[in-house]
Amino acid sequence: MTPIKKLFPKRTAAKSSKPGGMGEKIPRHVAIIMDGNGRWAKSRNKPRTEGHKIGAKRVSEITEAAMRSGVEFLTLFAFSSENWNRPKSEIDALMNLLVISIKTHGKKLVKDRVRFRAIGNVSALPKKCLNAIEKLEEKTKNFDGRNLVLALNYGARDELVRAVRKISNSAKIGEIDPNKIEWEDVARNLDTADIPDPDLLIRTSGEMRLSNYLLMQSAYAELYFTDVCWPDFTAEEFSKALKEYGRRERRYGLTGEQILER
Ligand code: FPP
């Protein structure tokens, strides 16, 4: 296995979405659907929770790889608003893992000056999770340039409904004219208000759908699907995704010629 430091030599400054120091184009924001923990475990005759445990280790590895590569924002889908329908024992294991990971991995984030944030309907999480999240958010709130965002109890439709409610309430008290509502007004009421849109969205485990993840924000994201399950998604696999991103031409509805002229 290639060591992470060799795959991603330290940079002095992020080179987001522009040709980087090593001649490549780095996405400013990478969003990941970490999928396949259960199948990974099942194929090894292990309990599903074992897949989550190894998956949590990958979270640290990929965060380090992303930050070293110059990615400014990494947003990981850690628990969806639909995941509550799983067996209680699995939910409890995931919540415990989350608290342990935030506590242990949090130290490295502080050391590396990475800002930590959670998006989603976080207030509905168990108190011990909420406490751990709030503590780490507070400790890292003054860092910028490198950001780890966890989507927890997150669903894009739920996020949109919450945004519409906020905007409707502003309209009701006359703060905003309903006929003048623009996309920017919607965007600033989403959980990602001060986070740029993802440039690259990765999903592991061979599934090719977005599963209610950052639907509005990913309107122009490059999609990368891999058969590799999340517990096997190493820094090396991450580097393959970045290389593939570097080969893509992003057009935002323009022609290739127009892009060249810009
Ligand atoms: C999808 O695999 C993964 C999850 C629902 C949870 C993701 C959680 C982790 C990676 C571990 C803990 C997270 C953090 C942030 C420390 P799945 O269970 O849906 O797999 P399957 O589709 O094979 O059943």
Q: What is the pLDDT along the chain (262 residues), one digit of tens a residue?
A: 788 888 888 764 444 444 344 457 999 999 999 999 999 999 999 999 999 999 999 999 999 999 999 999 999 999 999 999 999 999 999 999 999 999 999 999 999 999 999 999 999 999 999 999 999 999 999 999 999 999 999 999 999 999 999 999 999 999 999 999 999 999 999 999 999 999 999 999 999 999 999 999 999 999 999 999 999 999 999 999 999 999 998 777 777 777 778 7
Helix axes 48-69, 88-111, angle to 10 degrees: 20
* Phi, psi angle pair for 201, to nearest 5°: -120, 120
Ligand 1 mean position, distance from CA 13 (Å): 32
Tallying the residues shown for the chain, one arrives at 262
| Catalytically active residues, by annotation | 35, 83
Q: Give pLDDT, residue 11.
A: 62
Q: Is the CB of 198 under 6 A from ligand 1?
A: no
Quick check: 163 and 189 in contact, CB under 8 A? yes
Q: Which atom of ligand 1 is nearest to the CA of 207?
A: 22
Q: Which atom of ligand 1 is nearest to the CA of 76?
A: 15
Ligand 1 mean position, distance from CA 157 (Å): 20
Ligand 1 mean position, distance from CA 36 (Å): 7
Q: Which atom of ligand 1 is nearest to the CA of 94?
A: 12
Nearest residue by C-alpha to atom 10 in ligand 1 = 55
From the list 144, 118, 143, 148, the residue with the least C-alpha distance to 133 is 118
Q: Which of 33, 34, 50, 91 to mutate to test the pocket of ligand 1 (most atoms within 8 A of CB)?
A: 34
Separation of alpha carbons 26 and 180, rounded Å = 36
Separation of alpha carbons 3 and 76, rounded Å = 22
Per-residue pLDDT reduced to its tens digit, 46-56: 999 999 999 99
Q: Is the CB of 56 under 6 A from ligand 1?
A: yes
Q: Is the CB of 78 under 6 A from ligand 1?
A: yes
Q: Is the CB of 52 under 6 A from ligand 1?
A: yes
Q: Is the CB of 83 under 6 A from ligand 1?
A: yes
Q: Is the CB of 102 under 6 A from ligand 1?
A: no
Q: Which of 64, 148, 230 to mutate to test the pocket of ligand 1 (most atoms within 8 A of CB)?
A: 230
Which residues, 6 or more positions from 249, have their beta carbon under 8 angstroms from its beta carbon?
256, 259
Q: Give pLDDT, residue 255.
A: 77
Q: Is the CB of 55 under 6 A from ligand 1?
A: yes
* Phi, psi angle pair for 132, to nearest 5°: -65, -40
